[in-house]
Amino acid sequence: MENNTEIPSFISPEGRRIAYHLTDGTGPAVVFLGGFKSDMGGTKAVFLEKWARDSGRAFLRFDYSGHGDSGEAFTDGCIGDWLADACAAIGLLAGKVVLVGSSMGGWISLLVARAMQERVAGMVTIAAAPDFTEDSMWVGFSDAQKAELDGAGQVALPSEYGEPYIITKRLIEEGRQRLVLRDPLSLPFPVRFLQGTADADVDMSVALRLLSHAEGPDMRLTLVDGADHRFSDETCLDLIKASVEDVLAAQDG
């Protein structure tokens, strides 16, 4: 998390304060969408910002509400709220955008593409986790956890990344309205899916299912042997950059 006094923010149409960093440059602008409980100060977002600055490319990174330096409590949020935050952030930009979505950000990117397809010039996903509230969380809950969620309205899940995740009933129930792997998913622009084979959070089968389910004229999946969910070592970062450049080149062509 960065020093709040130095970070610009705006108030979304829903009244939430969204912190962001915008790098001026040529379009289409590249927009980074982070993961569940992550923030815009992460390795991948900052790496891409430096690439954009060096390349003269417009770039936007932001924190969803309840994340990082934005307002609201994490436990008040849900997929639909974070989708609305993303759409509001994209509203800061003119013209088309290339979405780069990491983990949950991959799901949000797919939802943005569905909500405002005319704004999307291309997409790169990194360990995308579409429908994870249903296919990973809910399906993985024990009967006791489901009962606790129903009775108390929330359940705590252990996390390798720090304090436990508090999963709310609203997150699960609202997420069912945002699923993308059950209905047709049109991606009529260049798309690059990136996935590590050693990802303990998002199984490789999710990437294969997404590739098989989505429809588009230019979709490719790259599997990186041994890469984990963070996908942030030098090799992975270089691949992310190359994938963004590939999508931009395909768009320009």
Q: Band of the pLDDT at 162, cuts 50, 70, 90?
A: confident
pLDDT at 149 over 50: yes
Of the listed ranges 128-132, 231-235, 247-251, the one predicted with least confidence: 247-251
Classified as helix, coil or strand, 131 is coil
Q: Cα–Cα distance between 46 and 54 in angstroms, integer? A: 12
| pLDDT, tens digit (0-9, with 9 covering 90-100), for 75-104 | 999 999 999 999 999 999 999 999 999 999
Q: Cα–Cα distance between 195 and 236 in angstroms, integer? A: 10
Q: Cα–Cα distance between 114 and 111 in angstroms, integer? A: 5
What is the pTM for the complete model shown? 0.95
Q: Average pLDDT, stretch 14-30?
A: 97
Average pLDDT, the chain: 95
| pLDDT, tens digit (0-9, with 9 covering 90-100), for 55-78 | 999 999 999 999 999 999 999 999
Quick one: tokens of 244?
Answer: 């963004």
- What proportion of the chain, given as a percentage, has pLDDT over 70? 97
Q: Average pLDDT, stretch 216-237?
A: 97
Q: Average pLDDT, stretch 127-133?
A: 98
Residue 80 phi, psi dihedral angles, 5° rounding: -65, -35
What domains can you pick out in the chain, each with its CATH number? 4-131+181-252 (3.40.50.1820)
Q: Kindly tell me the sign of the dihedral angle through the C-alpha atoms of 199, 201, 202, 205.
A: positive
Pairing of strands 154-159, 9-11: unpaired
Angle at CA of residue 153, ends 151 and 158, nearest 5°? 105
Give CA separation, 100 vs 104, 137, 171, in Å.
11, 24, 23
Tokens 């950059």, located at residue = 241
Q: Band of the pLDDT at 3, cuts 50, 70, 90?
A: very low
Q: Band of the pLDDT at 161, cuts 50, 70, 90?
A: confident
Cβ neighbors of 179 (< 8 A, separation 6 or more) are 130, 131, 134
Q: Band of the pLDDT at 158, cuts 50, 70, 90?
A: confident
